[in-house]
Structure 1
Amino acid sequence: ELNGILFYPVQYEGEESSKNVFYTGAAPNQQAIPAVDYLMNDLGVKRWVLAGTDYVYPRTTNKILEAYLKSKKVAKKDIMINYTPFGHSDWQSIVADIKKFGSAGKKTAVVSTINGDANVPFYKELGNQGISAENIPVIAFSVGEEELSGIDTKPLVGHLAAWNYFMSVDTTKNAAFIKQWKDYIKNPKRVTNDPMEAHYIGFNMWVKAVEKAGSTDPAAVQKAIIGVEYPNLTGGMSRMLPNHHISKPVLIGEIQDDGQFVTVWQTNKLVDGDAWSDYLPESKPIIADWTPPINCGNYNTKTKKCSGQNY
């Protein structure tokens, strides 16, 4: 209403681009798709459990992932999809179903968009039923250092997470950032995590855009910030793209018993965030570009029209 700006530093499901929002967290092509590629190409996964909490992010992400898996010739019978409410605690029957699904002689993995407190009993039940990271690995999109702090990590050790940053990444910039955070919070046990890095990048991009525009006026900043670059904490220069997403590296980490991650795979270059998924037929022709002459968050490249409300 007042033309303010929102920097959104958490991974999200895509399928939008607002003039007033800058998406510094991962789009599906910067987290979910590379995670599936890793499982498929490096671990040889053939059967897929898409398990999520029942709300918009998991449902939309899994819709994209299901379409992506089918484009890779994965049969419908090799994809199991399950949703549970927030805070779900009784995982016995669901984990039993996962175990049965994974016993068909094909390498099986769980792609998890399970959010919040439900993760603790979920991983615990996996352990109770003898499911390990070796036989059915879980790769999570919502389990990071903050979620692991203060809980018993034993059931999670060896399982995976896909993010654009890990606290354990060994760079000079990251070491300085961690020290600054711990000095500020006055608690050496506190951790950093992916959304913190995303917001660190976004805030510094805003500063550079304000300096470039000579003003904090939102309209001036929105215009000035396109193309602005700022170093991320894992290496490389993140750039604000015309679709209001940024470029980021993608990392796969293995959970350790101290609640940290060891990076087991990463992209060899930064990945540009894509607002509209190429794997959904209705989204494939849509792009977001907030620069002239398009200046639209949902421009249809076939009809050459802005296909929704232009805000």
Structure 2
Amino acid sequence: MKLKSILKPVGALGIACGLTLSAFSTHAQDDEDTIKVGVLHSLSGTMAISETTLKDTVEMLVEEQNKKGGLLGKKLEAVVVDPASDWPLFAERTRELITQEDVDVIFGCWTSVSRKAVLPVIEELNGLLFYPVQYEGEESSRNVFYTGAAPNQQAIPAVDYLMNDLETERWVLAGTDYVYPRTTNRILEAYLKSKGVADEDIMINYTPFGHSDWQNIVSEIKRFGSAGKKTAVVSTINGDANVPFYRELGNQGVSSTDIPVVAFSVGEEELSGMDTSPLVGHMSAWNYFMSVDTPQNEEFIKTWHEFTGDEDRVTNDPMEAHYIGFNMWVKAVEKAKSTDTDAVVDSIVGVEVPNLTGGTSKMLANHHIEKPVLIGEIQEDGQYFVVSQTDDLVPGDAWSNYLEGSKNLIGDWTDPINCGNYNTVTEECLGSTAMQE
């Protein structure tokens, strides 16, 4: 595999970015002989705990595609950059990938704030971004393919499980202070109230990226859960702040039987760096777990271990999203016989590829995909035991049915609509692809 890095010092980030340069080989190929795949994931900073594995995943997918003979008779080349968990730097790195490195597609971002920083650049330069992580919805861009879960494919089913199966009556909505948790919690608050939950039975708390002192917050959660009603935490905490959060839960004896936590951004990768013994029974809601027993998943894990040379490396949901998105892009390129953005956009809707849970996923007209929804309980070995799974695939909904300004909107990038936020009542395109926070 030919790997190229264009990590460059920028301002105060110069030292951090410069140090990462040596981690990558710098073999370049003639542009005419290669198809360049941009990899836009943080390898340093607060989000490196989650995103580094996704960089490795794209490299693996590129290598495996090259073993099959490449694409359109050309080899693929991964061009890796480190936006260093710095949101404006995501936009700079995207511009470099497209205008200087001439990549044909970008796989990247984790947080919604990084994606929103990238979005205007991707649209301005008519690039392609495959975004692999659960997000808040309220967006549908012609240039972005959302292979992670929308709220109706993760957050809403998780709340339904807590409410119906665990009989939860009080709700702690705890998140990192940025667009994804705030928008998701607006949706969940509206959804809970539509189910008759009172204001006093909803507690909302936000903390900064990298937050480390959880003692007072966990104490508040314990007090909130002592009112005689079954209480649960719905967590949209992101990045390395999860480590001290879960540690403090253990320190204060908050077990899954007392106040269960269901997380949307904690998976096998994050758990691999934690003492999971006090976390047994707490949950995560995803569309894939490493513990899923299918031939497709067994083969994926085997390939991953061979690629990394480490049988202890785990897999997780965003990795599967990149697996799905990468294979959809390959299939769309083969269908279009071109890596041209417009050709791929025109050919990708309706493309269907296998997922790792035993079914298939299809790219929808709103540039979201179909996914199963799984809820898993943390086990002592850092894996998940699946306690709930949807019978059918759930199509991703770009716009929430529970927000007043969104419930009449759809995204549809096919003729005759060709609009990311089309109002089905007024039959008008509202002019911008994304609702900005």
Same fold (TM over 0.5): yes
Report the residue type matching 2:322 in the other structure.
Answer: H
Report the residue type matching 1:131 in the other structure.
Answer: V
Q: How many residues align?
A: 311
**Alignment RMSD, CA only?**
1.0
Change (3 A) 1:248 1:310: closer
Question: What is the distance in 1 between the residues matched to 2:334 and 2:242?
Answer: 43
Match of 1:114 in 2: 237
1:310 Cα offset (Å): 5.5
Q: Indicate if the aligned counterparts of 2:140 and 2:433 stay in contact, CA closer than 8 A.
A: no
Question: What is the distance in 2 between the residues matched to 1:310 and 1:190?
Answer: 38
Answer yes or no: is 1:92 the counterpart of 2:92: no
List per-residue Cα deviations over 1:172-191 (Å, max 9, x = no partner).
00000000011011111111
Answer yes or no: is 1:181 the counterpart of 2:304: yes
Question: What is the distance in 2 between the residues matched to 1:240 and 1:92?
Answer: 43
Match of 2:171 in 1: 48
Answer yes or no: is 1:19 the counterpart of 2:142: yes
SS at match of 2:140: coil
List per-residue Cα deviations over 1:125-175 (Å, max 9, x = no partner).
222222110010000001001111122112222100000000000000000
SS at match of 1:120: helix
Within 5 Å, give how 1:161-176 maps onto structure 2.
161-176=284-299
Question: What is the distance in 2 between the residues matched to 1:310 and 1:59?
Answer: 19
Moved runs in structure 1, 4+ residues, more than 6 A? none
Match of 2:151 in 1: 28
SS at match of 1:104: coil
Match of 1:150 in 2: 273
Structure 1 vs Structure 2: percent identity of aligned residues? Answer: 77
Question: What is the distance in 2 between the residues matched to 1:98 and 1:231?
Answer: 41
Deviates more, 1:294-303 or 1:125-134: 125-134
List per-residue Cα deviations over 1:34-54 (Å, max 9, x = no partner).
000000011000100000011
1:134 to 257, 262, 270: 257
Question: What is the distance in 2 between the residues matched to 1:148 and 1:227?
Answer: 35
Report the residue type matching 1:289 in the other structure.
Answer: D
Within 5 Å, give how 1:133-282 maps onto structure 2.
133-282=256-405
1:120 Cα offset (Å): 1.6
Question: What is the distance in 1 between the residues matched to 2:245 and 2:125?
Answer: 42
Match of 2:128 in 1: 5
Match of 1:288 in 2: 411
Match of 2:88 in 1: none
Question: What is the distance in 1 between the residues matched to 2:145 and 2:263?
Answer: 24
Deviates more, 1:121-130 or 1:233-242: 121-130
Q: Indicate if the aligned counterparts of 2:187 and 2:402 stay in contact, CA closer than 8 A.
A: yes
Question: What is the distance in 2 between the residues matched to 1:310 and 1:141?
Answer: 25
Report the residue type matching 1:247 in the other structure.
Answer: E
State the TM-score, normalized to the length of structure 2.
0.70
1:221 Cα offset (Å): 0.8
State the TM-score, normalized to the length of structure 1.
0.98
SS at match of 2:361: strand
Deviates more, 1:300-309 or 1:279-288: 300-309
The higher-RCO structure (CA 8 Å, 6+ apart) is 1
Structure 1 unpaired stretches of 5+: none
Question: What is the distance in 1 between the residues matched to 2:149 and 2:177?
Answer: 20
Structure 2 unpaired stretches of 5+: 1-123
Match of 1:297 in 2: 420
In terms of fraction of residues, the more helix-rich structure is 2
Question: What is the distance in 1 between the residues matched to 2:239 and 2:177?
Answer: 12
SS at match of 1:299: strand
Match of 1:60 in 2: 183
List per-residue Cα deviations over 1:48-67 (Å, max 9, x = no partner).
00000111110010010000
Question: What is the distance in 1 between the residues matched to 2:179 and 2:347?
Answer: 32
SS at match of 1:82: strand
Q: Indicate if the aligned counterparts of 2:139 and 2:433 stay in contact, CA closer than 8 A.
A: no
